Chain A
Amino acid sequence: MFHPPSEPADPAAVAQQLLDAQLPMLRAYVRHLVAAPEDADDIAQEVCLEVLSHPGILLRGTDPGAYLRGIARHISCRHHRRFQRHRALEELIDFTWELAGTEPDRTREVAALRICMGGLNDRLRALIAARYQEGLQAPEIGPRFQLSAEAVRMALMRGRQALARCVAQRLGEIPA
Chain B
Amino acid sequence: MTCATAAERIWQSLDGDLPEAAADELVAHLRQCPTCQATLTEAVRIHRSLLEAALSAPVGSGTQTLAARRPTRRPSGRTGSFRRRAVWLVPAACALLLLAVVLGIDARRAPVPDPIAFAWISEPQAKNGERRQLAPGEEIVTGAGEIRQIQVADGSRIQVDADTRIRLALGGQRRAGGAIGLRGELSAGRVEVEAVAQDPAAPLVILTPLAEAVVVGTAFSLQHDATGSELRVSHGVVRFTAEAIGEQQVSAGNTLRVVQDRLLAVFTASSLSGKDGESVISWRDPSRQLVAAPGLGEVPPLGKVCTSRYYTVAFNGETQALHAPLGALDAAEGLTLLVVASPLGDGHDERIATLNVAETEYLALVRNGPLLGCVVDGRVWWSDRPWSTGKETTAVLSCTWRADGTFTLRSGQMVLLQGQAVPPRNVAAASLDLAAPGHGRRFHGNLFAAEVHGAVAAIKPVIARMAAAYSLRAP
A108 to B199, CA, bound (A): 6
- Judge whether A106 is part of the interface by a CB distance below 8 angstroms: yes
Partner of A89, one of B27, B115, B179: B27
* Those of A72-99 within 8 Å (CB) of chain B: 79-80, 82-86, 88-89, 92-93, 96-97, 99
Residue of A nearest to B52 (CB): A28
Contact yes or no, B79 A125, CB < 8 A: no
B 86-144 contacts with A by CB, 8 A: 86-89, 114-119, 136
Query: Which chain B positions have C-beta within 8 A of A27?
Result: 51, 55
* 0 or 1 for each of B385-409: is its CB under 8 Å from A? (1 = yes): 0000000000000000000000000
Expressed in whole angstroms, the Cα–Cα distance for A28 and B199 within the complex equals: 22
Q: Are A110 and B53 in contact (CB under 8 A)?
A: yes
Q: Which of B73, B84, B85, B116 contacts A129 (CB 8 A)?
A: B116
State which residues 96-134 of A face B: CB under 8 Å: 96-97, 99-101, 106, 108-115, 117-119, 125-126, 128-129, 131-134
The answer to whether A45 and B84 touch across the interface, beta carbons within 8 angstroms, is yes
Assembled-state Cα–Cα distance A37/B86 (Å): 12
Does A176 count as interface, using CB distance less than 8 angstroms? yes
Q: Are A163 and B52 in contact (CB under 8 A)?
A: no
Bound-complex Cα distance A106 to B49 (A): 8
Contact A83 B116, beta carbon cutoff 8 Å: no
Give chain A residues whose Cβ lies under 8 Å from the Cβ of B286.
Answer: none
Determine whether the beta carbon of A137 is less than 8 Å from that of B15.
Answer: yes
Contact residues of A between 30 and 55, Cβ < 8 Å to B: 31-32, 35-39, 41-46, 48-49, 52
> Is the C-beta of A164 less than 8 angstroms from some C-beta in chain B?
yes
B residues engaging A (CB < 8 A)? 7-8, 11-18, 20, 23-24, 26-27, 30, 40-56, 66, 69-71, 73-75, 78-79, 81-89, 114-119, 136, 153-154, 170-171, 179, 181-182, 199, 201-202
- Judge whether B40 and A24 touch: CB under 8 Å: no
* A115, B24: Cα distance in complex, Å: 36
Q: Which chain A residues have a beta carbon within 8 Å of chain B's beta carbons?
A: 23-25, 27-29, 31-32, 35-39, 41-46, 48-49, 52, 79-80, 82-86, 88-89, 92-93, 96-97, 99-101, 106, 108-115, 117-119, 125-126, 128-129, 131-135, 137-138, 153-154, 156-157, 160-161, 163-164, 167-168, 170-172, 176
Q: List 7 A-B contacts (CB under 8 A).
A: A27-B55, A84-B20, A89-B26, A113-B53, A115-B170, A153-B12, A160-B11
Q: How far is the CA of A77 from the CA of B116 in the complex (A)?
A: 29
Q: CB distance A133 to B13 under 8 Å? A: no
Find B82's partner among A80, A106, A112 (CB 8 Å cutoff): A80
The reply to whether A171 and B27 contact each other, CB–CB distance below 8 Å, is no
With both beta carbons as reference points, the residue of chain B lying nearest to A107 in the complex is identified as: B197
Complex CA–CA separation, A112 to B179 (angstroms)? 12
Q: A85-B13, A125-B114, A129-B116 are in contact. Are A112 and B27 (CB under 8 A)?
A: no
Q: Is the CB of B170 within 8 A of A118?
A: yes
* Distance in Å: Cβ of A27 to nearest Cβ of chain B: 5
CB distance from B421 to the nearest CB of A (A): 48
Pick the residue among B20, B48, B116, B171 that contacts A114 (CB under 8 A).
B116
Given A45-B84, A86-B27, A153-B8, also A79-B54 (CB < 8 A):
no
Give the residue of B20, B40, B115, B119 whose beta carbon is less than 8 angstroms from that of A93: B40
**How many Å from the CB of A176 to the closest CB on chain B?**
7
- Beyond A86-B27, A89-B13, 6 additional contacts (C-beta under 8 Å) are A28-B51, A86-B23, A100-B44, A125-B117, A133-B69, A160-B11
Provide the bound-state CA to CA distance between A28 and B53, in Å.
9
A113: chain B residues at CB < 8 Å are 46, 49-50, 53, 116
Closest to A134 in B: B71
Are the C-beta atoms of B170 and A119 separated by less than 8 Å? yes
Q: How far is the CA of A26 from the CA of B74 in the complex (A)?
A: 21
* Known A-B contacts A39-B75, A110-B52, A157-B7; A170 and B181 likewise in contact (beta carbons under 8 Å): yes
What is the bound-complex CA distance between A109 and B18, given in angstroms? 27
A36→B56 CA distance, assembly (Å): 16
With beta carbons under 8 angstroms apart, the residue of B11, B74, B114 that contacts A126 is B114
Which of B84, B118, B201 contacts A42, CB < 8 Å? Answer: B84
- Per the bound structure, the CA–CA distance linking A48 and B87 in Å amounts to 8
Could you tell me if A93 and B82 are in contact, using CB atoms closer than 8 angstroms?
no
A36 and B75 in contact, given A28-B55, A114-B116 (Cβ under 8 angstroms)? yes
